[in-house]
Structure 1
Amino acid sequence: MPRRVFQVADISRTARRTGARCSTCTMQRVCMPSGLSPDEYQRLDALICSTRVVRRGETLYRSGDAFHSVYAVRSGCFKTVVMHRDGIEQVTGFHLAGDALGLDGVSSDSHSCDAIALEDSVVCIILFDLLELLCREVRAIQHHVHRLMSSEIVRESNLMMLLGTMSAEQRVAAFLLNISTRMKARGYSPAQFVLRMTREEIGSYLGLKLETVSRMFSKLQKAGVLDARGKEVQILDRAGLENV
């Protein structure tokens, strides 16, 4: 069924249905392009038709669901997964506050994976038709959406390289460095953070067994580059971690 075509007037009506605002969000510098004018921020605020609370373990959308909206993670953390025919779950990504979700549905008008909350989370819901309309009128927004789509391609390429060419220890090190970099971009400590995902979920993402992931964490800790206590991680020697 074709998506409804929206007009500019729809954006004004949408603005009255939500209290969420891009212009005042703490994730603004991660989620949105910089240098927007007050008028452009107002139009962005109008795009958010509502926010949704997704409790830990709940699904934001499932594979096969019709695509209508993209989502900005306002707080919390999600994993995206695909299910193999034998019922085994494969984690394809972890999405932190400030990240976009749902772009997998653009190509076929239906989602290709499940998005599941790893903790109590909040997302902003943005109707894709309205976003496309604004992209035609505000070049900075159009460029930002293109960057988001490009980053998905880069993420997929990096994951293929990680799975195809790196040792188990290198995969775990690369994963931790990626989380560290993303934490820094959000204004948090890049050296000390809490992993919202389990070791098993990390293993699924990295193509490793749970036992291997645990063993690599222990190996990195013994090498003095990492201190891991449960989900709490402290990077003691970033250069050492980069050189694994």
Structure 2
Amino acid sequence: MSLLSIVDAQVRFGGVRAVDGVTISLERGNVHGLVGPNGSGKTTLVNAISGFARLHDGSVTLNDEQISGMRPDQIFTRGISRTFQSIRLLSTLTVRENILIGTDRARAEGDGRGAGKLLPRDAVNDRVDHAVALLGLEKFAGDFPSQLPYGLQRRVEIARSVASRPELILLDEPFAGMSRAERDELSDVLIEIADDGFTLLVIEHDMRIIHKICSHLFVMNFGRCIAEGSPRETAELEIVQEAYLGKQHGTA
């Protein structure tokens, strides 16, 4: 059974179909990549999954429960957490305190419908400690975000998502703006997060990173999913090459 199923999803902005009939499924425990040219609808699709964009047609189901039409906070309590393209940390709080925010409204273990019950203090601390360790932030837990380099700030944001113990983490271009060394370090961290039992959907442009971390790839263009499959085989498809390089790529 798929963890998340999207069927004929459509999001329109005026006359523009930003997401135009997308049907995909995410399998539990996998790292899924979502790629495509700028403006292809990737972030809009993630916004629709997480409740930040209204779905005009189609449906999104998580564990066979329809979540399309729910508010972002309701979807969060069902077990979907996300990060954004721009880092959103509170500068007046320490790293640990920023991560602690991720446990607010977090689901209690075994709470299959995401009632958002308050967790015992010990459980909250355990989740934060685990997220700090998983993201390699032990040395920086008492620092403020402004004291950290960009790559570590990204890790803090991801750790905040991990602390909620979600079923699915949506990562919108988590590698953007990083040096190659930072990208390699974060890719190793994301593999560890997946090995820890999380399911990920990652928007990314760097196919080297996609090949390293993802087991399944979706390719979007003009609001539609034009291909999916293993990263290497999918990236070699002619329709994917044309989407990225144009029809004359073979003679370039």
Q: TM-score, normalised by structure 2?
A: 0.28
Bigger relative contact order, structure 1 or 2 (CA pairs below 8 A, ≥6 apart) = 2
Q: TM-score, normalised by structure 1?
A: 0.29
The structure with more helix, counted as a fraction of residues: 1
Higher-Rg member (1/2): 1
